[in-house]
Chain A
Amino acid sequence: MSTTPTESSGLSAYRRREQSITLSPLDEQLGGAETTDELLTLNFGPHHPATHGVLRLLVTLQGEIVRDVKPVIGYVHTGIEKTAEDKAYWKVIPIVERMDYLAYYFNAMAYVGAVEKLVEVEVPKRAQYLRVIHLELNRIASHLIWLGTSALDLGASSIFLYCLRERELILDLFEMSSGARMHTRYFQVGGVIEDIPSGFEPKLREFLKIMPKRADEYGAILNSNEILLQRLRGTCPLDADTLLSLGVSGPLLRAAGNPWDLRKADPYSSYDDFQFKIPVGTIGDNYDRFAVRLAEIYESVKIIEQALDGLPEGPHITEDRKVALPPRHELATSMEALIHHFKLVTEGFRVPPGEVYNPIESPRGELACYVRSDGSSKPARVHMRDPSFVNLQALSHMVEGSYIADMIATIAMLDPILGGIDR
């Protein structure tokens, strides 16, 4: 610190000391010695307030700039795949539902679709439409939580409560159709477990009327929040080719410009009956990821409307009694129905040996289920290809060279669900 001669002794000792301090850059103060930047490795421990689950990041920093990110996962590893080998095919459905805990219908859909392929059972049209309605409702619910928690991370904390308000309406609908708010085991092999009750349709229509308006509100609030825009615009872009080589799919890939969506490319469960658009971004920065997901909410509302309008009459589960439980009223009259019911509930149905890989489009990307059966009533291998597990590899490529604050925004926009990552 260089000292300057003080003026007259009218100043106190404190003031004299204050005047003697010069603010100069570090190099000069050290007498021009070379200062090197050290790399600092910081541990974003598994418990941190950015509420994306228990993800641990080892961040190597140079000043405020992120040079490398190594995610350490496994803190919610539940052994779902191992447990699924121990249970009958229909008992695996609740196990597998709890994997990606925001998109529970999607987990069930991937698994149930794989088993249906193996067993070669056909799903009736009404069941397919009901499945689409519930899947798209779940997609909206998942995007609402994503929006709420991401806005919370980025500082716009009131959106969290608004999103939860909408989500309560959706969970009310789930409770109406299946009895549970989350993890409803509503999808079964061959269809859905129960038809929708009589009050479901008017309540759903009411919800569909207000949801686009609410989504407009959220868009308006967030798009006029200058801090949010600054944090999201132009931060951490990644081009589509790198994303493809990293195996990333879903809204992240669509934000980068590649319109790959399994609902359009390889339709399953009557998705080709519906007209909807795929929102696609341009640069693939955080703002595009945010905008793509927000736009997907509107498209999901459209799909549900079309499904509800065109809901055909018919059975809600396949009539094949070897796979699906017979309706209760038959149990009193038919002996075969009773025997089948007993066998299905105690042992479960047998599946011919073979392997099947069934991909669907979940809110995070390509969710697929690989089922291998060896001819018995329990699966020999159930593997869920979770999109967040693969998308997480893109994190280090995205945040390299940006600031920590941008990393937080990127993790929020990545939408990782640790239950799916760790299974």
Chain B
Amino acid sequence: MEIKRERLSPGGKAPGLSTDLRVRSLNASQLLHGNAIEGPNQPAHLEGTELERYVEERMLTTTLDQAVAWARSNSFFPLAFGLACCAMEQFHAAGPRMDIARFGFEAFRASPRQADLIILAGRVSIKMAPIIRRLYDQMLEPKWAISMGACCSSMGVFNNYALVPADKFMPIDVHVPGCPPRPEALMHGVLKLRKMVQDDPDMGWRERYDARGTEEIVPGA
């Protein structure tokens, strides 16, 4: 089995897509005038009006996408979900000193249907894993997941029969190490996620993880 490693550019941006509009427009003009550009997301071979239309479309949608991504990233609604000790530090992140409300993330929703960020705070036991997966499935797109603490990112302190690392059953965007991570560390992770969302406007987790082949199993269907 081959493991492909892709180096992301600094800041976590997807390759081939830069933030600066001017740089992007340069790339577009290069495209128009037929210069080859490296990168996985570029069209293979387009000519003339097709090419012009293609480039115009991309420029517009990326600007709009960018604005939407900016709005989405600044208003995550985390799911009020604490499992174990990391939940205590999650409370402190929402507490008066390390205030998560400064960034706009204080609206912890009780229902997964209304949340778009799940912060898995604590150890995931084998009994709890299917339930967390169901919670994640109940969330609406676009949704992100942060695995807080060492226990759900890897096995943490406990490497035994009872725990499952969260990567095994759901896609995680940011892993925050620590046992438990300080509230500042959790904030660092959330802000990293915010930057990720701002830079890469691919919304669905299937696009992000190139998981197009995965199917949803709908019970009873």
Contact = CB atoms under 8 A, between A and B. Distances in A.
**Direct A–B contact present (CB less than 8 angstroms):** yes
Interface of A: 45-49, 51, 53-54, 74-80, 82-83, 94-95, 98, 101-102, 145, 148, 160-161, 164-165, 167-168, 171, 181-183, 418-419, 422
10 contacts: A75-B128, A76-B125, A77-B127, A78-B123, A78-B125, A78-B160, A78-B162, A83-B157, A165-B95, A181-B182
Contacts of B128: 46, 54, 75-76
A79 B81 contact: no
A95 B158 contact: yes
Given A79-B162, A164-B95, A53 B180 contact: no
A160 B131 CA distance: 28
B127 A102 contact: no
Given A418-B84, A419-B85, A82 B160 contact: yes
B87 to A, nearest CB: 7
Contacts of B151: 78
Interface string B83-102: 11101110110011100000
Given A165-B96, A419-B84, 6 more contacts: A53-B82, A75-B131, A82-B162, A83-B159, A145-B91, A164-B96
B26 interface: no
Nearest to B91: A164
Nearest to B123: A78
Contacts of B179: 183
Contact of A145 (B80, B88, B112, B126): B88
Nearest to B126: A77
B180 A46 contact: no
B140 interface: no
Contacts of B82: 51, 53
A105 B66 CA distance: 48
A155 to B, nearest CB: 14
B83 A76 contact: yes
A54 B122 CA distance: 11
B146 interface: no
A109 to B, nearest CB: 17
Nearest to B131: A46
Q: Is the interface of B mostly helix, strand, loop or mixed?
A: loop
B125 A161 contact: no
A50 B7 CA distance: 43
Nearest to A161: B96
B157 A76 contact: no
B119 to A, nearest CB: 13
Interface string B180-214: 10100000000000000000000000000000000
A142 to B, nearest CB: 10
A49 B162 CA distance: 25
Nearest to A49: B110
A164 B93 CA distance: 10
A83 B80 contact: no
Interface in B142-192: 151, 157-163, 179-180, 182
A98 B163 CA distance: 14
A74 B125 CA distance: 8
Given A95-B157, A101-B85, A79 B91 contact: no
A51 B85 contact: no
B21 interface: no
Given A82-B161, A164-B91, A164-B96, A77 B84 contact: no
Interface string B49-92: 00000000000000000000000000000001111110111011
Contact of A54 (B83, B88, B163): B83
A366 B48 CA distance: 80
The 6 residue pairs across chains A and B that have the minimum distance between CB atoms: A164-B95, A79-B162, A101-B85, A49-B110, A79-B160, A75-B128
A209 to B, nearest CB: 20
B135 interface: yes
B92 A168 contact: yes
Contacts of A95: 157-158
Nearest to B159: A83
A289 to B, nearest CB: 21
A83 B160 contact: yes
Contacts of B83: 53-54, 75-76
